């Protein structure tokens, strides 16, 4: 290696190291702030304490928001998994003309501004007299979660060799049995990771959900942002630490199921 090459390689690794630090900093800072005793953030905190965690229970509105978010995320993920998988099978087995365009359409909600989708749906629902916040949230969240499922399951299915199912059937499996013994094990990891990302995307969504929340129905990010704007104390850091823990658990599960390398396939 020439000196110049070594310099460039060194620079690449230095920037990569910086990128790692840059990406994990917000998470570390949040966790550190949640265990500090001061109400104004100082790093490192003068004293460690759990007082912000103790205050979580007394925060009004937090628990209902968490419940709403989990309900909406679970249901919209389940609906997306059903719709997305059916669609993926239809696309790979049905020789549908223009399937490339259909896939782009299915994934496009990921690329368009959430705010615009939210406003469009708000006006649309109003026009048809749908005023129920919870139902509106669910209908809107399926639009957000479906692309995650569609992208991953279509990808996994297009790599699946369907003659394996025929092979299993010649060996005496029933059709349902062949699907259960051959297709499900192959697609399982894709279901799990795409479902996980869909769930987290729904839990995290703010720009679409904000248009459908009312005084009684709020999702967690909306309630959290409201707290931050009213009273930015480390109680928010304590909630955030809980969410970081959830994401870490999801990642460990995902790694066990498909391996972290496949989760990075984009």
Partner 1 sequence: MNIATRLRSLPPAAALTAPALAYLSLFYLVPLVWLFTRSFMGPVGPTIQPYIDLLSDPFTWQVIGNTLRVGALVTLVAFVIGYPAAIALSKARGIWQIVLLTSIILPLSVGVVVKAFAWQIVLARNGLVGQILVATGLFEQAPQLLFTEAGLVLGAANVFLPFMILPIYSVLGLMDPRLPEAAATLGASPLYRFIKVTLPLTLPGIVAGAAFVFSMSISMYVIPSLLIGDRFQTLATLTGRSFLFMRNEQVGSTTAVLLLAISVAIILSASSLARRVGGVR
Chain residues 237-266 in contact with partner 1, contact rule CB under 8 A: 237, 240, 243-244, 247-248, 250-251, 260-261, 263-266
DSSP 129-182: T---HHHHHHHHHHHHHHHHHHHHHHHHHHTS-THHHHHHHHTT--HHHHIIII
CA atoms of 105 and 173, how far apart (whole Å) = 36
Candidates 51, 63, 108, 161; binder of partner 1 (CB under 8 A) is 108
Nearest-approach distance from CB 40 to partner 1, in angstroms: 9
What is the footprint of partner 1 within residues 52-81 (CB under 8 A)? none
| Contact stretch for partner 1 (CB under 8 A) within 39-47, 58-66, 165-173, 179-187 | 39-47
Candidates 114, 182, 187, 217; binder of partner 1 (CB under 8 A) is 114
CA atoms of 213 and 151, how far apart (whole Å) = 28
Nearest-approach distance from CB 161 to partner 1, in angstroms: 16
Interface with partner 1 (CB under 8 A), residue total 91
233, exposed or middle or buried, with CB in 10 Å at 0-12, 13-18, 19+?
A: middle
Q: Report yes or no: 71 and 110 within 8 Å, Cβ to Cβ.
A: no
Candidates 51, 55, 67, 90; binder of partner 1 (CB under 8 A) is 90
| Backbone phi and psi for residue 48, each to the nearest 5 degrees, phi listed first | -90, 145
CA atoms of 65 and 131, how far apart (whole Å) = 19
What is the footprint of partner 1 within residues 156-195 (CB under 8 A)? none
Tallying the residues shown for the chain, one arrives at: 266
Regarding 115 and contact with partner 1 (CB under 8 A), the answer is yes
What is the footprint of partner 1 within residues 212-241 (CB under 8 A)? 221, 224-225, 228-229, 232, 236-237, 240
Q: Name the residue nearer to partner 1 (CB basis): 172 or 193.
A: 193
What is the footprint of partner 1 within residues 135-154 (CB under 8 A)? 139-140, 142-143, 146, 150
CA atoms of 202 and 106, how far apart (whole Å) = 17
CA atoms of 188 and 183, how far apart (whole Å) = 8
Q: Name the residue nearer to partner 1 (CB basis): 36 or 168.
A: 36
Q: Name the residue nearer to partner 1 (CB basis): 172 or 201.
A: 201
């Amino acid at each position: 290696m020439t000196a110049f090459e070594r310099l460039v390689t060194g620079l690449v690794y230095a920037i990569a190291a910086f990128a790692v630090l840059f990406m994990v900093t917000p998470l570390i800072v949040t966790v550190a702030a949640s265990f500090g005793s001061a109400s104004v953030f100082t790093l490192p905190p003068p004293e460690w304490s759990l007082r912000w965690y103790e205050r979580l229970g007394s925060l009004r509105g937090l628990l209902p928001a968490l419940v709403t978010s989990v309900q909406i995320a679970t249901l919209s993920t389940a609906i997306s998994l059903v719709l997305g998988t059916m669609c993926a099978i239809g696309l790979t087995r049905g020789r549908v003309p223009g399937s490339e365009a259909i896939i782009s359409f299915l994934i496009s909600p990921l690329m368009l501004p959430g705010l615009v989708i939210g406003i469009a749906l708000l006006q649309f629902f109003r026009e048809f007299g749908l005023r129920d916040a919870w139902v509106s949230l669910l209908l809107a969240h399926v639009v957000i979660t479906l692309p995650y499922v569609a992208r991953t399951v279509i990808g996994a299915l297009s790599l699946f060799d369907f003659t394996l199912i025929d092979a299993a059937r010649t060996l005496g499996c029933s059709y349902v049995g062949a699907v259960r013994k051959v297709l499900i094990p192959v697609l399982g990891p894709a279901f799990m990771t795409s479902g996980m990302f869909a769930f987290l995307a729904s839990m995290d969504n703010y720009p679409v959900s904000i248009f459908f929340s009312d005084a009684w129905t709020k999702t967690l990010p909306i309630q959290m942002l409201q707290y931050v704007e009213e009273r930015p104390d480390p109680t928010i850091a304590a909630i955030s630490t809980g969410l970081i823990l959830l994401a870490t658990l999801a990642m460990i599960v995902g790694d066990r199921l498909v391996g972290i390398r496949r989760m990075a396939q984009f």
